[in-house]
Structure 1
Amino acid sequence: MIDRMINKIVYSGVAFLLVACTDLTTNPRQSLTPEVALNDVSGYQSVANSMYNRATSFGYYGQTMMIAPEILADNLKTIANTGRYQGEEANSDRDHINIWGLAVYGGINDANLIIEGIDDEEVSGDEDVKSFIKAEAYFMRALFYFDLCRVYGYEPGKEVSGFNLGPIMRLTPTLVASAANEYLSRSTVEEVYEQIESDLLAAIPLVGYAPIGSDGVYYANTGAALTLLARLYLYWGKMAEAEEAASYAMEIMGLLTNGEGLLEADQYVQGFSRAPHPESLFELELRLVDWSDGDGVNNSLNSLVADNEPAAQFIIGASDDLMAAYEEGDVRKNCWSATTREGVEGDVYASRKWTGYKGDFLENLPILRASELYLIRAEARYETNPSGARADINALRSRRGLGAIDNLLSGEALLNRILLERRLEFALEGHRWFDLKRNGKDIPKHDGFLDVPYTDYRILSNIPLDEITLNEKLEQNPGY
């Protein structure tokens, strides 16, 4: 199926993608309002802008989806008693990731509006631009549903006590976005995964190519859609398909088996203070108009995990366990800076990934990075082609200032090595909890906090009580 799909990719889509992106950037990314007229392409561009903007909210990728999956596991720790993320650090009941709300379901509704309406013959505008916007909607709907599945459901084949439900799946728009998840039952994760796959396969031939780290990565593009598809297959346990999708993405994006195409080691830390990130395949662009100065101080990643601004809260740092996991010479360790914090004895570690480099606690959010393709393919290969898996790991390590791993590493030890590389590569990018969960592993903790067994109900997040009260068809996750 991927072979047939990839043959339809429009390699000449570079010019088309750049034109579409230029048109889109003329409109501010703001939430959809009833005044937006959906009778020409500009109205649907506004809907697309709303769709992207929802993903930047503090309750989603703007903060929660980056910090919570790290502190729910063993990568981060609180260093100030403010009440924020302390429950997640202790894995307290109902202190989890909560994205069941307007940011995600509103974004899905935006996507549904586009997919259902933009092809109407009464909608005026350039047909290529209309096609691109529709492809963006497929891509973003896939991302929204993928995140809902991994927060609220077990991956297929990893269910506990047979529980297989995922989010509510709605594929038609509603006039009020907040109603998008009302009065329907939950679909199974398998059903939602099938829809995500369908959406991505629909998007890939239409979005066009954007070079790694170019302005085109602010929008859906071929490399991003293939990477998300490869990630989906990895979570799904479809390893042959994950390897194939990752390999196609690497070929298209010019990522070589020796690691060429990734940043050199001495550029790695600096890469997180550039917009777009030089390894970005898909990046959420934040601008001054997207939040006020007060919002940034109170809620931005920069304020919560870094100390480079006097007004920063700096309440979360790297765990000692994470810092001990870095090898000598690993440039990724330099994404943390030893410092002090009033009330804390000894060193604490502030992030140098999220530094507010655009000013006023503002920065872009790389969601899909090229390095993930090497680790997706390594994990997809570890059982059937361990030498290929080791080669992919070594290619990445060569760009992070490190030598090759043990040439005999295989089996579970090789998988654990891959998960360790993912831990170090994507620290504070929102992967750690999900990497452990999707492999059916217990969640390790730090500093005396108890590990969370995989069979524990806290592996899944709870659906908010007000949603359960509103919709009698909505089944709560076990244990809550």
Structure 2
Amino acid sequence: MKIFHKYIALSGLFAAFSCTDLNTTPRQSLTPEVAFNDVSGYQSVANSMYNRATSFSYYGQTMMIAPEILADNLRLVANTGRYQGEESNGDRDHISIWNGVVYGGINDANLIIASIDDESVSGDTQTKDFIKGDAYFMRALFYFDLCRVYGYEPGREVDGFNLGPILRLNPTLVASDADFRSRSTVAEVYEQIESDLLAAIPLVGGAPLGSEGVYYANAGAALTLLARLYLYWGRMEDAEAAATSAMNFLGLRTNGDGLLEAGQYVQGFSRAPHPESLFELELRQVDWSSVDGVNNSLNSLVADNEPAAQFIIGASNELIAAYEEGDVRRDCWRETTREGIEGPVYASRKWTGYKGDFLENLPIIRAAELYLIRAEARYENNPAGAREDINAVRSKRGLGPVDNLLSGEALLNRILLERRLEFALEGHRFFDLKRNGRDISKHGEFLEVPYTDYRILGNLPLEQIQLNENLEQNPGY
């Protein structure tokens, strides 16, 4: 029996959504003096962990834009030097998250997991358990992203290359704790991610869809990330089971009930939390200055609703052409013009800075993903079920059902297209192509990137290679 299946029975445990009274004060950096005496110190560590996730070099910008412009969803509409290399898939112009932000977040999680249960740490058990579950979930997310940027998915390796990130499960408290170690295989890291998510589920409890509870780890988000992991891993039976368990737990119906209605879709991206959020990063004014917003926010780079916005990136013409008539997701793009560009350009209405000063929350995992994960997991052995899941999403986006005879490769293509349209500018497109072993399609006259090309994987930072003789660079760099 697969390890996941024993956790399906936990759905009864989560039948009543649990809440926490965890402090949601601004997520500032960790202060070492207060970290280890009581549970509030560990909450400070958790706040540090979340603050890292909102960094512009991670989900605050890079992980949302780069996977879209590395593929065919986005185009540059102004030349500022930013994302030019990614648009052309230049050498070493990839997603760069092998850094102190991500590994620092992993270390925060390791600190919590290693010692929050010590008897010397005062605080109630429920709060300790939640914070520990939070750490398991976030460590899983950090490692999952490192794997998909720097490694091939298991079974999709090119020339047998199977390395992923360095796997560290113990905290580094002082310099003497650090060691130089080799990279683990992606399969080894996936096994750890699976273990972390399964550990998180019974600790974090549930959060109703679109409630403020989604600002933290919760069982629905952990099950969804687990389903996503299995999809990348090629474990389709487990991906379907995890997605189904999450949908049942969250009250999502096979006809799409639980998702936003078509007329509410665009407005949903200007609400906090997003009504379909399973996991959302909350950003507050204290997290950045207005200068940060102008220079680095998603709103500034991809929208033009603020006079000071940079608006350097818009939807590709190919993406716009892919929307069917009546698809409300097309309304997430506003047609406008840009000096120096012939013809219309398209500004985002997903990231509008609705909280002021270019500020907004970032929904990282949304409920619609569960339907499309399950559709992809089913497409070979249960095409009727896959079509049902596609149609559930389409019915909430203003569209009718797909062809009732759609199957095989054509059905998979349809699922990937639905994912492209549903999650445009949410950081999925490049990875959806890569994990299926496909060449990376591009917009305009840019050449597609063959799956066997070395640029499919990100390059490890040169300074890290020079510092650690055990660290092997990715092929081709």
Instruction: Please confirm whether the aligned pair reaches a TM-score higher than 0.5, indicating the same fold.
Output: yes
1:169 corresponds, among 152, 167, 170, to: 167
Q: Offset of 1:181 from its aligned partner?
A: 7.8
* Alignment of structure 1 residues 198-213 onto 2, 5 Å: 198-213=195-210
Following the alignment from structure 1 to structure 2, what is the Cα–Cα distance between the partners of residues 163 and 237? 17
Q: Tell me which amino acid in the other structure corresponds to 1:403.
A: G
Following the alignment from structure 1 to structure 2, what is the Cα–Cα distance between the partners of residues 268 and 102? 36
* Alignment of structure 1 residues 44-55 onto 2, 5 Å: 44-55=42-53
Change in Cα spacing, 1:254 to 1:426, as seen in structure 2 (3 Å) is same
Quote the residue 2:153 is aligned against. 155
Change in Cα spacing, 1:81 to 1:176, as seen in structure 2 (3 Å) is farther
Q: Offset of 1:180 from its aligned partner?
A: 8.8
State the Cα deviation string for residues 393-451 of structure 1 (Å, max 9, x = none). Answer: 00000000000001111101100000000000000000000000000000011110000
Q: Tell me which amino acid in the other structure corresponds to 1:2.
A: F
1:329 corresponds, among 319, 326, 337, to: 326
1:109/1:180 contact within 8 Å kept = no
Scaled by the length of structure 2, what TM-score is found?
0.98
Quote the residue 2:22 is aligned against. 23
* Alignment of structure 1 residues 436-455 onto 2, 5 Å: 436-455=433-452
* Alignment of structure 1 residues 71-470 onto 2, 5 Å: 71-175=69-173, 183-470=180-467
1:14/1:208 contact within 8 Å kept = yes
Q: Tell me which amino acid in the other structure corresponds to 2:46.
A: A
1:259/1:396 contact within 8 Å kept = yes
Q: Tell me which amino acid in the other structure corresponds to 1:341.
A: R
Change in Cα spacing, 1:142 to 1:13, as seen in structure 2 (3 Å) is farther
State the Cα deviation string for residues 91-137 of structure 1 (Å, max 9, x = none). Answer: 00000000001111000000000000100011000110000100000
Following the alignment from structure 1 to structure 2, what is the Cα–Cα distance between the partners of residues 195 and 2? 13
Following the alignment from structure 2 to structure 1, what is the Cα–Cα distance between the partners of residues 243 and 165? 26
Q: Tell me which amino acid in the other structure corresponds to 2:213.
A: G
Following the alignment from structure 1 to structure 2, what is the Cα–Cα distance between the partners of residues 5 and 388? 23
1:297/1:311 contact within 8 Å kept = yes
Following the alignment from structure 1 to structure 2, what is the Cα–Cα distance between the partners of residues 124 and 242? 39
Quote the residue 1:65 is aligned against. 63
Q: Tell me which amino acid in the other structure corresponds to 2:257.
A: E
Scaled by the length of structure 1, what TM-score is found?
0.97
5+ residue gaps in structure 1?
A: none
State the Cα deviation string for residues 224-268 of structure 1 (Å, max 9, x = none). Answer: 000000000000000000000000000000000000000000000
Quote the residue 1:476 is aligned against. 473
Q: Offset of 1:4 from its aligned partner?
A: 1.7
1:48/1:137 contact within 8 Å kept = yes
Quote the residue 2:37 is aligned against. 39
Q: Offset of 1:176 from its aligned partner?
A: 5.2
2:172/2:178 contact within 8 Å kept = no
Following the alignment from structure 1 to structure 2, what is the Cα–Cα distance between the partners of residues 29 and 105? 18
Q: Offset of 1:184 from its aligned partner?
A: 1.1
Identity of aligned residues (%): 79
1:112/1:171 contact within 8 Å kept = yes
Following the alignment from structure 1 to structure 2, what is the Cα–Cα distance between the partners of residues 268 and 348? 22
State the Cα deviation string for residues 180-207 of structure 1 (Å, max 9, x = none). Answer: 9851100000000000000000011111
2:15/2:249 contact within 8 Å kept = no
1:217/1:282 contact within 8 Å kept = yes
Q: Tell me which amino acid in the other structure corresponds to 1:386.
A: P
Q: Tell me which amino acid in the other structure corresponds to 1:364.
A: N
Q: Tell me which amino acid in the other structure corresponds to 1:4.
A: K
Quote the residue 2:17 is aligned against. 14
1:168/1:181 contact within 8 Å kept = no
1:105/1:180 contact within 8 Å kept = no
1:381/1:388 contact within 8 Å kept = yes
1:170/1:180 contact within 8 Å kept = no
State the Cα deviation string for residues 256-291 of structure 1 (Å, max 9, x = none). Answer: 000000000000000000000000000000000001
Change in Cα spacing, 1:403 to 1:180, as seen in structure 2 (3 Å) is farther
Q: Tell me which amino acid in the other structure corresponds to 1:165.
A: L
Q: Tell me which amino acid in the other structure corresponds to 2:239.
A: A
The Cα RMSD (Å) is 1.2
Following the alignment from structure 2 to structure 1, what is the Cα–Cα distance between the partners of residues 361 and 193? 25
| Count of residues in Structure 1 that have an aligned counterpart in Structure 2 | 474
SS at match of 1:7: helix
Quote the residue 1:5 is aligned against. 7
Q: Tell me which amino acid in the other structure corresponds to 2:432.
A: D
Change in Cα spacing, 1:176 to 1:288, as seen in structure 2 (3 Å) is farther
